Amino acid sequence: MDSERTFKGDNRLLLGIFLGVITFWLFANSLVNIVPTLQQSFNTKLGTINAAVSLTALLCGLLVVGAGGLADRYGRMKLTYIGLILSVIGSGLIIIPGFAPLLIIGRAIQGISGACIMPATLAIINTYYIGKARQRALTYWSIGSWGGSGICSVFGGFMATYVGWRSIFIISIIVALLSMFLIKHAPETKAPKSEKAAESKFDFVGLILLVIAMLSINMIITQASDYGFMSVLIISMIIVFIVSFIAFIIWEQKYNNPLIDFGLFKHKGYSGATISNFLLNAVFGTTLVANTYFQSGLNFNSSQAGYITLTYLISVLIMIPIGEKVLQSMGAKRPMMIGALLNGVGIILLMLVFLPPTWYVVVSIIGYLIYGTGLGMYATPSTDTAVSTAPDDKVGVASGVYKMASSLGNSFGLAISGTLFSVMGDRFNIHQGMVYGLGFNVVCALFAFILIWALVPKNQFNH
């Protein structure tokens, strides 16, 4: 299409994309710091609220790959619009007072919204922004995702304490509508016709198998402590996971147009970026565990707990543009490794719960500063490596796999960290629970460092 070949991405489109991205990473994730408030507002069980909090990221992760394929086939702008409309609907359902099922449904719709927006907007950036302009656009995209997740704790706690938690989603509706207005001048973009001609029907079987596998492993993680590993429910879920996951791998290798093209992982740079992205999104469980500890162990309110994370927000926003410059000067591998290492160091500082409360708060503020510095350094080099090393006709699918790693890492990180914190806190004390919950995140950062060192080429410049 002529307009697609001649159109160049501008600041208006970039701002619209940025606003679309934060509907998930900022507004939808803000619930992580207001669980007690939600439980009181909906007068329901804590398990129901926890399920609602994690459901958005889980569904987003499960569906984002399929949405990337649909964006390639039917249009990336179209999928972005659909995602923004779903964001408005989901936020509208959540703010309806006192009816917990609508909270669950609204959170599910928000997850589908994020699945549509993220791979579609990454593919739009890859199409309409070239060279350094692309890296600049990816920097702002990263600020929307990493920065949004950084401020969500502070923002959610502040709004819940001083304005009312429903205002979060009223603002989210306004932001989504503004995003649709800002991007409307951009022409549609799809995958090249040569690739479309070879496509077969959408891989619904693969999608169903993946959903079954991921939901069952999530059930195992979150419910094993309540039911026991030897219970009928957990053993059944383990069997379901093993069977569905093996069936998914076999099906994907035989299907002509698979949901996940495992051929993408033949490129070590893409594999290193995507797997480390999963691991460094799993450390988001740090925020959940630390916020709960500050409120339950140190008697802070949700707003005060959120303020301690401010250094994370500041550092990640400052370091994302610096990460772009480091990428341009020395390639992707070094800033990605430094980022993973600093991330782990920051979390270790948050584990020093034996310190006196005043000193611990100071050390935690420093820990969040280093934690955010690491993620900010890692963000743009990782995203650019994943997008630039994918084939042109599979950018949407490749972006979907990359963002699936983000969302599933986020979801499983919350589930595993929260479970370890709860189980070990009950078995020993809340301080030990904090150490075990954060210890998992340190292990994730360490494995990310090793994978980047082993897989990402030394001179990976993505211009």
Task: Give me the tens of pLDDT residue by residue for the chain, a chain 463 residues long.
Answer: 555 567 888 999 999 999 999 999 899 988 877 877 887 888 877 667 777 887 888 888 888 877 887 888 889 999 999 999 999 999 999 999 878 889 989 999 999 999 999 889 988 998 899 888 888 898 888 888 877 877 888 888 888 888 989 999 999 999 999 999 999 999 998 877 654 445 457 788 988 898 899 888 877 887 777 777 788 988 999 999 999 999 999 998 888 778 777 888 888 888 899 999 999 989 988 988 898 889 888 888 888 888 898 898 889 888 888 888 888 888 888 999 999 999 999 999 999 999 999 999 999 999 999 999 998 899 888 888 887 777 766 766 777 788 778 878 888 888 888 888 888 888 889 999 999 999 999 999 999 999 999 998 876 544 4
What one-letter code names the amino acid at 60?
A: C
d(CA 63, CA 74): 16
For 170-227, give the secondary structure using H, E and C.
HHHHHHHHHHHHHHCCCCCCCCCHHHHHCCCCCCHHHHHHHHHHHHHHHHHHHHHHHH
Q: What is the pTM of this model?
A: 0.77
CB 278 within 8 A of CB 413: no
The model's pLDDT over 94-117, given as tens digits with 9 standing for 90+, comes to 999 878 889 989 999 999 999 999
Query: Each residue of 343-375: pLDDT tens digit?
Result: 999 999 999 999 999 999 999 999 999 999 998
Measured N-to-C along each axis, helices 148-162 and 310-330 cross at an angle, to the nearest 10 degrees, of 160
Cβ count near 230 (within 10 Å): 8
pLDDT for 463 equals: 41
The predicted pLDDT at position 116 comes to 93
Q: What pLDDT is stored for residue 197 in this prediction?
A: 44
- What is the model's pLDDT at position 320? 82
The CATH number of 2-203+255-455, from 3.40.50.10860, 1.20.1250.20, 1.20.210.10, 3.40.50.620, is: 1.20.1250.20
- CA–CA dist 389, 211 (Å, integer): 27
pLDDT given for residue 396 in this prediction:
64
CA distances from 295 to 21, 34, 48, 403, 430 (A): 29, 11, 20, 31, 11
First to last CA, the chain: 25
Domain ranges of the chain: 2-203+255-455, 204-254
Q: What was the pLDDT predicted at 161?
A: 85
Inter-residue contact 260 to 65 (CB < 8 Å):
yes
Q: Can you tell me the distance from the alpha carbon of 386 to that of 189, in angstroms, rounded to the nearest whole number? A: 20
Which DSSP string do the residues of 408-453 spell out, in sequence order?
HHHHHHHHHHHHHHHHHHHHT-HHHHHHHHHHHHHHHHHHHHHHHH
Look up residue 228 and give its DSSP letter. -
Residue 462 is predicted with a pLDDT of 45
DSSP structural state of residue 262:
G
